[in-house]
Structure 1
Amino acid sequence: TEIRVPRNGKIYFSKIHDLIANRRVDIIKGYTDLNIDTIKSFMVNEFRNFLENKMNSLYLQMLREPDERFFHIFKLHFVQPNPVISEFSSLKENETFFPPCMFGIMKRLTSTKHLKYNDRQSLILFLKGIGMPVEKTIEFLRNSFNLDNEVFNKEYLYSIRHNYGLEGKRANYPPYTCSKMGSLCNNNSVGCPFLGDKTYVKDFLNVKNINLDLEDLIKSHPGQKACSKILNVLIEQEAEPLITSPVNFYNLFKNKNNKNVE
């Protein structure tokens, strides 16, 4: 079918971004002339956006009202663009390998049924970093927050998916490092408990049955070095590991446990 191009027609540059990227059109005050190429580009981009919006809407509907017949298809094509290296069994089984900072955030979540922004971001990116699938993270936080489903979906669902690279610009956000966690220490955030509220470290030592004097530990091993020392006690390793991130702590702890089981 022949496409009839209107005379003196103009189109806004954002509607033909693929042509802009290849510098195939001239832009004047945000607009370019209508021609066969710009019309084709516009139609393809609009149809692509339409499909993406409809598929995202359908996926969100699936989260609210799951249908087992379609779950595998959505998981395969839309949930995990990057494959998870190791199979994630369950949060309950893996929580024992959490570092003191994540232990503190989980404890705060249990007691308050809510997390402020920094703690929420820290935890979501950590769970992503250790291989917890996005649908399990959504389910866990949905059950942990003292909110009804409608409020949770409105306020937190997009943010969780965005952190997993499934919304917005679909960026691959890395988990926070120890230095980043250290910068988050305040009344609203757990951050690094060795630099902030040391109550979480005391509780962690008690739960793990580690007999260390916390004050002496922090004096001799400031910041993340104290965390490295605790991990060294847990995994009984001759050379003390240097912890650079919560995920790093988790992986070393879990890998050592897996070797012991084998």
Structure 2
Amino acid sequence: MNFINSAPRPVVGGTPTTQASKGPYLELSMYKEVPTGEISLEEFEEYALDRLRVLKAIEEAKLRSKSEDTIQADVETLLKKHMQGSSRQQTYRKDVLSHHILRLAYCRTADLRSWLLAQEALLFKFRFKALGRQQQVEFFSSMGLPYHAISDAEFEELAGQLAAVLNACGEWDKAKAVTSSSRRGDTHGLQDIGRAGAAAAAAAAAVASRPLFYKVPFQAVPDLVGSRRVLLRAGQAYVGEDQVYSLVVGAFRSCLSASLAEAARAWGAFSAAEADRLAPLVDSLPSRSVYGSDNRKVPVGEISAGQLAGLVAGRHFPLCMSVMYERLASEHHLKHWGLQQFSLFLKSIGLPLEQALLFFRQQFAPRTPGDKFNKEYAYNVRYNYGQEGKRQDWSEWSCVKIINQEVGGACAGAGECNGGCPYKTYSAEQLRAALSRLNCNDKVIREVVDKARGKHYQLACGLAFEGITGSPQETGINKPSEYYASSIELATQRAAAAAGANGAGAQQGQQQQQQGQQAGGGAVQPQQQEGPPQTPAGQRAVAAGIPA
């Protein structure tokens, strides 16, 4: 398809020389030009998902209130991991392509546009801040942005007035830095950067040692002008280096917002033209899980239908599945989508088909006779296990799919009985009550409710895990089985630690007893092992406090 030129784009500003430009940041772009050329469908999907991994990781870091410096380091790691190509040209190609693919996928609704705009602006901000001063100046010039770094001569001329403005605003440290730099009489400015030999190195060191100011049109900073926080001269406002970050990010947001609106208007024509090929792929991207099926392995070994009650009682199920289990136990019925979601989850955590049929038949029995269950419901369970229909090995629903699943009819409250995410469908009161029943920490409950109210449902689930188990959840919850796996693993580790401590105490007591018997002339009898050896599944169940 026509998407991007195969020929690489010329490097902006020449060959990079700073450490930042040799890293994963390379040349930034305002993404104003739509790329053309050829790209395979495999690359199309891969590039989009890789960029989504970066954006969603940044969103989660921001929501977890990580510091700017921490997120800055995280961004560098994420870009190296997911966006680095085999060459600088390939990295730039992937950056441009992935941005435009997501722009197309997220243009259709106001919520999607708002999310992409916020995350892309954050990514742009951290990438821009990672560049050196000279690269930032070159970026402004190459993108046609009216932000011009002042020369040393102009800095010397205006240093007193700049310092006075900073003092008036209470920024005394910055004012002192401006005054001290002026008194040193630095004579090497931005115009000197790039000269050969020692002069270039001295110039770069000199610029790095003094505050940098930019001239921008005064109408670009009306808030700063209105609060008298900038120096005005001949229609130009002189803003500091830290203030120009917000200016360039604002310009990027405006450009992207206009482009998303334009893409939304063109979506109808695109979806009609690509109905049989690209449109379904693009349409599915916002609901796709960005983590592979092997992101976190569920502990090995099968579980039985009889163990499910113990797993729920042990608080190993995520809230969505715990609610469905309780609803099934009380009402003895699940509608179609609820049965699909719950049975696929049970399959993913190790419940075999025969045990699944036994479990659901028992739960449905008070309302559904056996022959009716076999006729109306057993097929769906066997289908999910790949024994009917397409005979495909179906995977469990991801959190994204559960959150976005729309359920109509009498059971429109998806979290109530037909599947869905309680953090989305529950009211604040219902959520507090449900988490309280799971003995979640009161302080954490308040944080979970706040995150759910802010539509950060997966982060709310991760916080709930921490409040229920008392252990941090750093990797995020992307599938219900990942919550289960983390909970079982934690319980197993704690049981092993407790057993080790008890074993050490018992061994010490046995040694003391043996010493006493030897002193008294008694004989020590070997202890007999009771019961059959545990299977791996039984060991895991017993370690987690579940009847095997």
- Taking structure 2 as the reference length, the TM-score comes to 0.31
CA distance in structure 2 between the aligned counterparts of 1:183 and 1:203, rounded to whole angstroms:
24
CA distance in structure 1 between the aligned counterparts of 2:327 and 2:346, rounded to whole angstroms:
16
Q: Contact (CA 8 Å) 1:162, 1:168: kept in 2 or not?
A: yes
Structure 2 match to 1:227: 461
1:135 and 2:354 correspond = yes
CA distance in structure 1 between the aligned counterparts of 2:432 and 2:405, rounded to whole angstroms:
19
Decide which of 414, 420, 439 is 1:189's aligned counterpart. 414
- Give the gaps of 5 or more residues in structure 1: 1-83
* Deviation, structure 1 residue 241: 3.5
CA distance in structure 2 between the aligned counterparts of 1:136 and 1:120, rounded to whole angstroms:
15
**Alpha carbons of 1:188 and 1:237: their partners in 2 closer, same or farther (altered >3 Å)?**
closer
CA distance in structure 2 between the aligned counterparts of 1:98 and 1:251, rounded to whole angstroms:
9
Aligned letter for 2:421? C
Structure 2 match to 1:87: 302
Q: Contact (CA 8 Å) 1:116, 1:188: kept in 2 or not?
A: no
Decide which of 302, 320, 327 is 1:108's aligned counterpart. 327
Task: List per-residue Cα deviations over 1:133-163 (Å, max 9, x = no partner).
Answer: 1111111111111210110000011111110
**Alpha carbons of 1:220 and 1:157: their partners in 2 closer, same or farther (altered >3 Å)?**
closer
Aligned letter for 1:189? A
CA distance in structure 2 between the aligned counterparts of 1:239 and 1:110, rounded to whole angstroms:
29
* Deviation, structure 1 residue 230: 1.1
Task: List per-residue Cα deviations over 1:218-247 (Å, max 9, x = no partner).
Answer: 324621100001112333334534000111
Structure 2 match to 1:3: none
Please report the RMSD computed on the Cα atoms of aligned residues, expressed in angstroms.
2.1
Task: List per-residue Cα deviations over 1:153-191 (Å, max 9, x = no partner).
Answer: 000111111101112221010001111110136525320
**Alpha carbons of 1:117 and 1:129: their partners in 2 closer, same or farther (altered >3 Å)?**
same
Describe how 1:64-213 pairs up with structure 2 within 5 A: 85-89=300-304, 90-95=307-312, 96=314, 97-145=316-364, 146-184=367-405, 186=407, 187=412, 189-190=414-415, 191-198=420-427, 201-212=431-442
Aligned residues: 179
Q: Which 10-residue stretch deviates more, 111-120 or 204-213?
A: 204-213
CA distance in structure 2 between the aligned counterparts of 1:200 and 1:134, rounded to whole angstroms:
33
CA distance in structure 2 between the aligned counterparts of 1:207 and 1:193, rounded to whole angstroms:
14
Structure with bigger gyration radius: 2
* Deviation, structure 1 residue 103: 1.0
* Deviation, structure 1 residue 197: 2.1
**Alpha carbons of 1:148 and 1:99: their partners in 2 closer, same or farther (altered >3 Å)?**
same
Aligned letter for 2:378? L
Q: Choose between structure 1 and 2 for higher RCO, CA contacts under 8 A separated by at least 6 residues.
A: 1
SS class of match (1:140): helix
Q: Contact (CA 8 Å) 2:382, 2:388: kept in 1 or not?
A: yes
Q: Which 10-residue stretch deviates more, 130-139 or 180-189?
A: 180-189
CA distance in structure 2 between the aligned counterparts of 1:137 and 1:200, rounded to whole angstroms:
29
Aligned letter for 2:437? V
**Alpha carbons of 1:177 and 1:149: their partners in 2 closer, same or farther (altered >3 Å)?**
same
Q: Contact (CA 8 Å) 1:116, 1:189: kept in 2 or not?
A: no
Task: List per-residue Cα deviations over 1:113-151 (Å, max 9, x = no partner).
Answer: 211111111100000000011111111111111210110
Aligned letter for 1:184? Q
CA distance in structure 1 between the aligned counterparts of 2:358 and 2:343, rounded to whole angstroms:
12
CA distance in structure 2 between the aligned counterparts of 1:202 and 1:137, rounded to whole angstroms:
31
* Deviation, structure 1 residue 91: 1.2
SS class of match (1:132): coil
Q: Contact (CA 8 Å) 2:317, 2:483: kept in 1 or not?
A: yes
